Amino acid sequence: MYYKQYGNTDMKVSAVGLGTMRYDEEDIKAGHLEKCAEIPLYAFEKGINYWDTAPFYCEDKSEIVTGIALSQIKRSEVYVTSKTNLGTIDAGDHPTKEDFRRRLEISLDRLKTDYIDFYHMWCMLSLESWEKHMDAVYGFFEDAKREGLIRNIVFSSHMQGNDIETVVASGKFKGMLIGYNALNYRFRQSGIKAAYQNGMGVVVMNPLGGGMIPANPDAFAYLAEGTEFTVPQAALRFVASHKEITVTLAGCTTKEHIDDAVKAVENLEEKPASEIAKEYEGRGVALNNLCTGCSYCKGCPSEIPIPKYMDAYNHKILTGDAKSITDRMDNHWGIKQEKAKECIACGKCEEQCTQHLPIIDRLKEIAAL
């Protein structure tokens, strides 16, 4: 396993981390939690010492499964995370310290541990939401840290580059968790660079673009060119090879998934993000033309679910076949072509689009199919 230093801490973490939101669905439903716990234990055997969990993952069983595994190994040999926000505390916009503690203690109990290594201010979608959380709960995070219940305060976010830079500049966090992959890396690079320069750890979720990369192996074959890796392995390696990125999370259901992820970072060579961007410039499909599903284009006055239509349009770019748009709309999203005609071309979504996509034209094209 290849290890990296987590920001300016003394923690050495595996370049690949275990995402625990994909334990086997049937086993979870049947209550076979000991069986699910074989996954983190196998990951540990393979050198994966960073396990990322949260309330609500896997029908709210992920922390329990992870705790079963954690209690079977030496606690200090694994770094475990969990997460909270106003939604999970569920006590309105101004929870008390006790409300916060109740949520944290549930995670500690389930994880069968006295402390959590990285506790996330979870899912900050905008600067506004982040500011609200800073006012409402950051002080409680600090109290928990002083009491030794959490070791590092970190955040997870779907914000854009510039907004992430603002959070990074606050100096309040040891690290962050963000979505980053071969689809969206251009608009996320400034955020990871800022975090790295500020001595923060950077953990990446969604390295396979929400399944879009493995689902379109031909379009992403360039990532694996000249290597012995499969496309998903190459996509994972693409992310992990960024010098600015500390841990790349791989959601694993089976032991084979773990083997795949471990292979993806064998003899890893780290490079700065700017060098990687240069290396991939102009290769493969025109990635900047793809919708990344980031959902910043929300608030359409005609209530058009834009990310769904743009995801369907992605399929035309990836396959070259216009019919794949309607297939995706019908079979995956269950959305109608007619709705696309309701666009009044106000331009609001295009102003917000992180990829600067011609959304209005694409909706017109979809409406005319």
Contact set with ligand SF4 (CB under 6 A)? 291-297, 300-302, 304, 306-307, 310, 343-349, 352-355, 357, 359-360, 363
Instruction: Compare residues 252 and 349 and give the one whose CB is closer to ligand SF4.
Output: 349
Q: Which amino acid, residue 198?
A: N
Task: Return the SS3 of 157.
Answer: strand
Does residue 325 contact residue 337 with C-beta atoms inside 8 Å?
A: no
The nearest distance, CB 132 to ligand SF4, in angstroms, is 22
What per-residue string of b and e applies to 189-228 under the rule 16 or more CB within 10 Å gives b? Answer: bbbbbbbbeeebbbbbbbbbbeebbeebeebbeebbeeee
Instruction: Compare residues 224 and 353 and give the one whose CB is closer to ligand SF4.
Output: 353
Does residue 177 contact residue 6 with C-beta atoms inside 8 Å?
A: no
The nearest distance, CB 143 to ligand SF4, in angstroms, is 37
**Pairwise CA distance, residues 53 & 109, whole Å:** 14
Which of 158, 165, 63 lies closest to 108 in space, CA to CA? 63
Instruction: Compare residues 251 and 307 and give the one whose CB is closer to ligand SF4.
Output: 307
What is the residue-wise DSSP string for 7-46?
TTSS-EEESEEEETT-S-HHHHHHT-HHHHTHHHHHHHHT
The nearest distance, CB 337 to ligand SF4, in angstroms, is 14
The nearest distance, CB 169 to ligand SF4, in angstroms, is 24
**Pairwise CA distance, residues 138 & 16, whole Å:** 28
Instruction: Compare residues 276 and 294 and give the one whose CB is closer to ligand SF4.
Output: 294
The nearest distance, CB 173 to ligand SF4, in angstroms, is 24
Instruction: Compare residues 47 and 161 and give the one whose CB is closer to ligand SF4.
Output: 161
Instruction: Compare residues 158 and 257 and give the one whose CB is closer to ligand SF4.
Output: 158
Does residue 341 contact residue 367 with C-beta atoms inside 8 Å?
A: yes
What contacts 367, CB < 8 A, 6 or more positions away? Answer: 337, 338, 340, 341, 343
What contacts 324, CB < 8 A, 6 or more positions away? Answer: 315, 316, 318
Instruction: Compare residues 106 and 367 and give the one whose CB is closer to ligand SF4.
Output: 367
Instruction: Compare residues 204 and 306 and give the one whose CB is closer to ligand SF4.
Output: 306
**Pairwise CA distance, residues 44 & 266, whole Å:** 16
Instruction: For 248, list phi and psi in degrees, rounded to 5.
Output: -110, 120
Instruction: Compare residues 269 and 286 and give the one whose CB is closer to ligand SF4.
Output: 286
Torsion of CA 227, 230, 235, 241, to 10 degrees: -40
Does residue 6 contact residue 175 with C-beta atoms inside 8 Å?
A: yes
The nearest distance, CB 315 to ligand SF4, in angstroms, is 13
The nearest distance, CB 200 to ligand SF4, in angstroms, is 25
The nearest distance, CB 210 to ligand SF4, in angstroms, is 11
**Pairwise CA distance, residues 303 & 342, whole Å:** 9
The nearest distance, CB 186 to ligand SF4, in angstroms, is 11
